[in-house]
């Protein structure tokens, strides 16, 4: 099992891609802290993982609240004794074309998708550096690489995640703490629920494989980057998109 004895925090892990990442990580031997907004959803996710034979602890927190984030990391450290990795997965969309985008839509997406990633990573960085090992994987998006119609806020945040990742790869790499990003294409989760079917059909047609991705396909890449098999991979933005941009 490639993540045996690893203790991980995964944000936005109560459902969607985050839950798929948590499921994959426990199957690979990790203990996972499930961070998400709703305490009930967090408890349900932990119960599901435990029922499948995994080890999971609830860490309900809003990643935009720095006090809550620090407390969440403190609880994880108390319960686990150490933290080996962080997956910054929590994310939202509030789409509108540039000319119609409100300050509120801009701010909400930047707060969760950019500031949340910054705050969670800052909260674990000292611990990881002090122990001289660790892996941070942040979920960006192909939208952070290529932009997307109606997603000025989301593209800015996801491009920012790639910039932060490369910066952390340089700053923390000296302490044997690796930072990488994963850039999913369009993945079959409820975040796509607001996209009309004809637009989804166009998105599928852009992919050489002519389909959306599945959360488990993103989870496989994340688990690899968290593992010691990726011990010399630092500062990459790995596309998991079926080749959407080629
Ligand atoms: P999802 O199904 O909507 O799940 C996101 C999870 O994050 C939800 O459980 C949500 O909680 C939680 N969350 C939202 N705001 C939070 C906050 N402030 N603090 C803590 N947790 C919060 O989304 P997904 O499709 O799995 O996406 C996961 C990540 O992949 C996101 O970063 C997304 O941008 C990225 N991504 C997704 C796709 C795709 O096509 N699905 C493509 C590229 C990148 P609530 O349910 O309570 O809101």
Q: How far is the CA of 16 from the centre of ligand 1 (A)?
A: 7
Nearest-CA residue for ligand 1 atom 32 is: 91
Of the two residues 32 and 200, the one the predictor is more confident about is: 32
Q: What confidence score (pLDDT) does residue 196 get?
A: 87
Residue 77: Cβ-neighbour burial (10 angstroms; 0-12, 13-18, 19+) = middle
Alpha-carbon Rg for the chain in angstroms: 17
Q: Which mutation among 16, 63, 155 tests ligand 1's pocket best, with the greatest number of atoms within 8 A of CB?
A: 16
Q: Per-residue pLDDT for 192 more than 90?
A: no
Q: How far is the CA of 134 from the centre of ligand 1 (A)?
A: 23
The two three-digit tokens of residue 175, written as one number: 């302490």
Among 178, 244, 191, 183, smallest CA distance to 218 is for 183
pLDDT tens-digit readout, 204-217: 999 999 999 999 99
Q: What is the pTM of this model?
A: 0.98
Q: What confidence score (pLDDT) does residue 186 get?
A: 93
Q: Which mutation among 92, 214, 240, 241 tests ligand 1's pocket best, with the greatest number of atoms within 8 A of CB?
A: 92
Buried b (16+ CB within 10 A) or exposed e, 114-146: bbbbbbbbebbbebbbeeeebbbbbbbbbbbbe
- Delineate the domains of the chain, giving CATH numbers in brackets: 7-234 (3.40.50.720)
Q: How far is the CA of 95 from the centre of ligand 1 (A)?
A: 14
- When pLDDT is averaged across residues 142-160 and rounded to a whole number, the result is 97
| CA separation for the pair 24, 33 (Å, rounded) | 13
Determine phi and psi for 195, rounding to 5 degrees: -85, 125
- When pLDDT is averaged across residues 180-195 and rounded to a whole number, the result is 91
| Beta carbon of 14 within 6 Å of any ligand 1 atom | yes
Q: Per-residue pLDDT for 193 more than 90?
A: no
| Beta carbon of 213 within 6 Å of any ligand 1 atom | no
Q: How far is the CA of 213 from the centre of ligand 1 (A)?
A: 15
The H or E element containing residue 135 is: strand 134-139
pLDDT tens-digit readout, 28-58: 999 999 999 999 999 999 999 999 999 999 9
| Beta carbon of 155 within 6 Å of any ligand 1 atom | no
| Beta carbon of 63 within 6 Å of any ligand 1 atom | yes
The two three-digit tokens of residue 136, written as one number: 């941070």
Sheet containing 55-58: order of strands: 55-58, 31-35, 7-11, 85-88, 134-139, 177-184, 237-240
Q: Per-residue pLDDT for 172 more than 90?
A: yes
Q: Hey, which residues does 32 pair with through a beta bridge?
A: 8, 56
| CA separation for the pair 186, 199 (Å, rounded) | 11
Q: Verify whether residue 146 is a known catalytic residue.
A: no
Q: In the chain, pLDDT over 90 holds for what percent of residues? A: 96
Catalytic residue among 19, 154, 186, 224: 154
């Amino acid at each position: 099992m490639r993540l045996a004895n690893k203790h991980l925090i995964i944000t936005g892990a109560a459902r969607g891609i985050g839950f798929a990442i948590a499921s994959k990580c426990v199957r690979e031997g990790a203990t996972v802290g499930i961070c998400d907004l709703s305490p009930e959803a967090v408890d349900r996710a932990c119960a599901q993982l435990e029922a499948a034979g995994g080890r999971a602890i609830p860490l309900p927190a809003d990643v935009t609240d720095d006090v809550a984030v620090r407390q969440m990391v403190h609880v994880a450290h108390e319960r686990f004794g150490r933290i080996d990795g962080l997956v910054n997965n929590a994310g939202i969309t509030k789409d509108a074309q540039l000319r119609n985008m409100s300050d509120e839509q801009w701010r909400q997406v930047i707060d969760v998708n950019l500031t949340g990633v910054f705050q969670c990573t800052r909260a674990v960085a000292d611990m990881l550096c002090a122990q001289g090992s660790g892996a941070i994987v942040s979920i960006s998006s192909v939208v952070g690489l290529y932009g997307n119609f109606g997603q000025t806020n989301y593209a800015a945040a996801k491009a920012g995640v790639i910039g932060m990742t490369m910066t952390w790869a340089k700053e923390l790499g000296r302490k044997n703490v690796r930072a990488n990003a994963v850039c999913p294409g369009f993945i079959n989760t409820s975040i796509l629920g607001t996209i009309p079917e004809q637009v989804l059909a166009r998105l599928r047609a852009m992919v050489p494989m002519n389909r959306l991705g599945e959360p488990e396909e993103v989870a496989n890449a994340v688990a690899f980057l968290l593992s010691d098999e990726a011990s010399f991979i630092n500062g990459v933005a790995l596309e998991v998109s079926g080749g959407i941009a080629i």
